[in-house]
Amino acid sequence: MPPNGPPDRVAIDLGDRGYDILIGPGVLGDPASYDGLPRPQSALVVSNPTVSALHGARLRAMLEPRHARVLQVDLPDGEAYKDWSSLNLIFDALLAHECDRRTLVYALGGGVVGDVAGFAAACYMRGVPFVQVPTTLLAQVDSSVGGKTAINHPRGKNMIGAFYQPLRVLADLDVLDTLPDRELSAGLAEVIKYGPIADAAFLDWVEAHLDALLARGKPALAHAVRRSCEIKAWVVGQDERESGLRAILNYGHTFGHAIEAGLGYGQWLHGEAVGCGMVMAADLSARLGLVPAAFVERMRRLVVRARLPVAAPAAIGADRFVDLMRVDKKAEGGQTRFVLIEGVGHAVQRVVPEALVRETIAACSG
């Protein structure tokens, strides 16, 4: 096999907090990926036991020549552990080893590891540098851009956190080879999302290359990750603090969060709920006349092909479903505003009459 070419590079332009995302096979094990990063005495790898067993040794081999000490903390695996006690495991390790404020934190894992390690880096001594090494497709296309870090509170997800940018993101496509099929599909839900909200041509491309993506073809994955990051960066760049436009990234999420909460978190993967939620949001868009009915079928076909669910669990019930969406949005201090599609590639936010929402729930449950 020929060696890998240079990785794709997406530059996130945030002034003095800007950084690069390196995308490609072999990025993790290529010393050049680390060029220009600071080399303080201590580095701390934050991971979980599953990911650490698969990829930890390769990362450590890269870091050991660069730092006098490479420490490691493995967090318990799963959304249930995205909490203060995991955060404190990181603080305990940093303080037990007398790590100073130059210590470089590497987050090696999926969304939970990235969110917790990023928030720990944001808070330790009021901020130490960190590098994201996302090991799921979802984390590569979603968490790589935007600087959101957080832990959960018993009363709500992601309630305690910070906006904090990494120094670099290393999105190694080879690590996706070990990803379970179900998690690959969940990541594809977020890839699919970017076309309808911002780039009609990318939706065409995803439809044409979905089989290659499911087969984990590296050129297809590289384009999908790069274009997803570019689109997210474009949106976030205009709205870093999430005051308006950035909400379009939540296409499918209002319905999706209600499904996740209605079933109890952990039943459906987040990406699965978003896949179904995008079909529902498309359906609602059509009921408002913003897109033709054919667009709903197009979304549904694509989500099915990605091996994601397209029907919300009927067991939740329409009344509870509506309530859950209201709770989800209450935190934003207003009515439920849905992210809808108004012509492929263009998202809008609208308050929608509840009767229409109920029609969508009825049509999309099963």
Q: Which is nearer to its own copies, 84 or 205 (CB)?
A: 84
The answer to whether 45 touches 70, Cβ cutoff 8 Å, is yes
Min dist. Cβ of residue 40 to its own copies (A): 8
Tell me how far, at minimum, the Cβ of 339 lies from its own copies, in Å.
18
Let me know the angle formed at the C-alpha of 187 by 181 and 193, rounded to the nearest 5 degrees: 140
| Cβ 327 to its own copies shortest distance, Å | 9
- Helix 270-287 vs helix 253-263: crossing angle, to nearest 10: 130
CB of 44 to its own copies, least distance (A): 14
At residue 29, what are phi and psi to the nearest 5 degrees?
-100, 10
* CA–CA gap between residue 263 and residue 65 (Å, rounded): 47
DSSP 194-250: HHHHH-HHHHHHHHHHHHHHHTT-HHHHHHHHHHHHHHHHHHHHT-TT-SSGGGGGG
CA distance 52 to 74: 8
Nearest to 270 by CA among 259, 284, 281: 259
Question: Which residues are known catalytic residues?
Answer: 126, 148, 190, 232, 242, 246, 250, 253, 257, 270
Q: Which is nearer to its own copies, 57 or 155 (CB)?
A: 155
- Chain positions contacting its own copies, by CB under 8 A: 40-41, 84, 88, 91-92, 95-96, 98, 100-102, 122-127, 148-150, 153, 155-156, 159-163, 241, 330-333
Q: For residues 126 and 366, which CB has a smaller minimum distance to its own copies in the complex? A: 126
Read off φ and ψ for residue 185, nearest 5 degrees: -60, -40
Q: Which is nearer to its own copies, 129 or 134 (CB)?
A: 129
Comparison of 122 and 192: residue with beta carbon closer to its own copies = 122
Give the whole-angstrom CA distance, residue 299 versus residue 75: 37
Which candidate, 80, 33, 28, 76, places its Cα nearest to that of 54?
A: 28
CB of 90 to its own copies, least distance (A): 10
